[in-house]
Structure 1
């Protein structure tokens, strides 16, 4: 295969990875935003006009990061790999002076580990050495990170345009027990069919992540407005065009959510954390201290979505207490929220599902902090 180059001056091809289980949410969100989206293993591929990588970083709520495709070529050996890497058009993303980091993925490749790829890259770019990137969930926003994926003898190279993972919106400077990633919270809301126009209640709200993400969705606020991205340090970055893009997104946002989310928690400290996080996010939440076991029906709210990330017995609480908590929670949902829908994130434990006692409409596998979980979507 000859070198196939993405000409970012005319058309962009990006890969948007997702947390395990959120691939359908990323695809649905991309389609709703008008992107040309194709589901693939681990995420979605987008095609579009120049600046697509900026728009994806700015607007996608459920994505983990955004990779800009630079080229694809055949590399049957280290020499061909080095030659292909040398021919890549790196000018728009690399100044040639700093040392890029490489994230290497090998699948049925002929190379003996990532070190062979790093050595080939150093030869290609005339560098003494090339640094291997650390875990991308912890990746700094400094410098350039390239993804080199070799599958068989096909090599695909992409540039990280996000920097810090996209779940770092900037508002959650405090967390309570068992925090939930912002991207996972947004993905669960998308999978549950939340559109921002209906009531949203979290009966165990913790640091308020579900509620803040729901408020931003209801407000149509782009999640990337308050943070910086790696593409802002690319040599070809157009600051004026980026400012105009952000201004358009800001103009589209509503001054307040269409339906104010409401949260409860038995822990007063968690409610304080949620209030402060919401203040940093620019939203106001209705928060009350109540126990999910005795939660009263929210007055004046019509049917909507009740969403919850209860204790799993691994990070918070004792495992032997969980069945009773889940039984009480299910009873509260049936009593206080008739006609609503429920989205419950819980560990892979058939006993807890039975204890919850809710009619399952969908049961989806997802991961939360590396733990295998199930997302139950239930009519009440």
Structure 2
């Protein structure tokens, strides 16, 4: 596609975490992106630099892939030929290592995978071997091509993100149960949080919910503190990128529009949250407090968000019912006029222990664990 100036446009695929797809779609819609739903995310079309915009601004995105081409290849040799014919000049200069990852659509019979395991593609000065599956935790200094096969149809993309997008750059320390920044942002958005009312986390840990809430409230893009794979592309224009970053920073507010408060009984966790907030450039109110005696702050009702323990550590499981009962009592008592959003393990008995009447439950995953996002209004 070409834009109004005659410049060739882009098609990108933006992935997200399971259960967070509606939040990603809402973000794309707010930014005026033209998109369609795709498995595990969205596919967007737009002007040159669209991949930069997506990496910089989309809070719930896990990775941004730039489409390089689609072709038919019934054999491994045809696949090699198709890969060699790709327009690579804009994204690869032959100087950095090149990694190729191949996935087969689950509806495809496993037969072709046997053939592809031995296929290889040679681009001087390096050789690339067709691998089995993409490592979602991958990234690094090399250029990564991703090849997806559905029958004889192959779609090839280049990873423009590098390190996964949940790595914002501020969270250099984590608590006992770390929550990915992208999931925290997704939960806030699925809860309808827009940053204009107070946010409270009664079990704040390393402060991820609060920092993400503060950045959302400030309209601060999540990608300002990090670098991306596309910055090593031959076509990368540093001056254009600097202008794009400056425009994004210009849109951000100096302070959140509403207070962000976190509580935790663990003093060490609060110290971690303070240091993470300092690196993120945000101001949080953090206090040591037991959730059993916690009172709502003297603000207008807002959102209470929490990621309570799941009982995966030794000795925790037997304590969970009492903890969840206490959490529910605080939410239904001191915070009865507030909205609630909790990510909890997929265990009906524990959810029932919270006692949140009329709550909705949305399936999500946290670190590969099947969880529920429990959303409730005022009691």
TM over 0.5: yes
Question: Alignment partner for residue 94 of structure 1, among 92, 95, 99?
Answer: 92
Question: Partner of 2:265 in structure 1?
Answer: 266
The DSSP-based 3-state class of the residue aligned with 1:172 is coil
Unaligned runs of 5+ in 2: none
CA contact (8 A) 1:6 1:13 kept: no
Q: Which stretch of structure 1 is more off in the superposition, 329-338 or 111-120?
A: 111-120
1:212 corresponds to which residue? 211
2:8 corresponds to which of 7, 10, 20: 10
Of 286-295 and 132-141, deviating more is: 132-141
Equivalents in 2 of 1:128, 1:231: separation in Å?
21
Post-superposition, which runs of at least 4 consecutive aligned residues in structure 1 deviate over 3 A? 5-9, 109-112, 124-137
Structure 1 counterpart of 2:377: 379
Matched, 1:113 2:118: no
1:86-113: CA deviations, max 9, x gaps?
Answer: 2110111111243311121112167643
The alignment partner of 1:138 has SS state of coil
1:114, 1:55 → 2: CA distance?
Answer: 38
Q: Which residue is equivalent to 1:153? A: 152
Map of 2:231 onto structure 1: 232
**Counterpart of 1:244?**
243
TM-score, normalised via structure 1 length: 0.93
CA distance in 2, matches of 1:114, 1:309: 43
Q: 1:368 aligns with which of 366, 370, 373?
A: 366
Cα RMSD (Å): 2.1
Cα distance between partner residues in 2 of 1:115 and 1:33: 43
Q: Secondary structure at the match of 2:44?
A: strand
Indicate conservation of the 8 Å contact 2:94/2:125, yes or no: no
Change (3 A) 1:129 1:213: closer
Structure 1 residues 213 and 297, CA, compared in 2 at 3 Å: closer, same or farther? same
Provide the rounded CA distance (Å) in 2 between the counterparts of 1:357 and 1:41.
Answer: 35
Number of residue pairs the alignment of both structures matches:
374
SS at match of 2:66: strand
Change (3 A) 1:233 1:316: farther
Q: For residues 161 and 316 of structure 1, what CA distance do their matches in structure 2 show?
A: 40
* Partner in structure 2 of residue 306 of structure 1: 304
SS class of match (2:184): helix
1:48-91, Cα deviation, whole Å (9 max, x unpaired): 11000000000010010100001001111112211211211011
Q: CA deviation at 1:357?
A: 0.6
Q: TM-score of the superposition, structure 2-length normalised? A: 0.94
Q: Kindly state the Cα deviation for residue 138 of structure 1 after the two structures are TM-superposed.
A: 2.7
1:296 maps onto 2:295 in alignment: yes
Change (3 A) 1:127 1:207: closer
Cα distance in 2 for partners of 1:249, 1:133 equals: 38
Partner of 1:60: 58
The answer as to whether partners of 1:86 and 1:125 remain within 8 angstroms in 2 is no
- SS of the aligned residue for 1:175 comes to coil
Q: In structure 2, how many angstroms separate the alpha carbons of the residues matched to 1:224 and 1:237?
A: 17
Shift of 1:128: 4.0
The separation in 2 between residues aligned to 1:103 and 1:281, in whole angstroms, is: 33
Q: 1 CA distance for matches of 2:97 and 2:206?
A: 38
Report the alpha carbon displacement of residue 114 of structure 1 after superposing the two structures with TM: 7.5
Q: Which moved more, 1:313-322 or 1:196-205?
A: 313-322
The SS at the match of 1:67 is strand
Give the conservation status (yes or no) of the 8 Å contact 2:116–2:130: no
Contact 2:117/2:131, CA 8 A, preserved across alignment: no
Tell me what 2:254 maps to: 255
Q: How does 1:46-195 map to 2 (within 5 A)?
A: 46-107=44-105, 108=108, 112-113=112-113, 116=116, 119-122=119-122, 127-130=126-129, 132=131, 136-195=135-194
1:76 is paired with a residue whose SS is coil
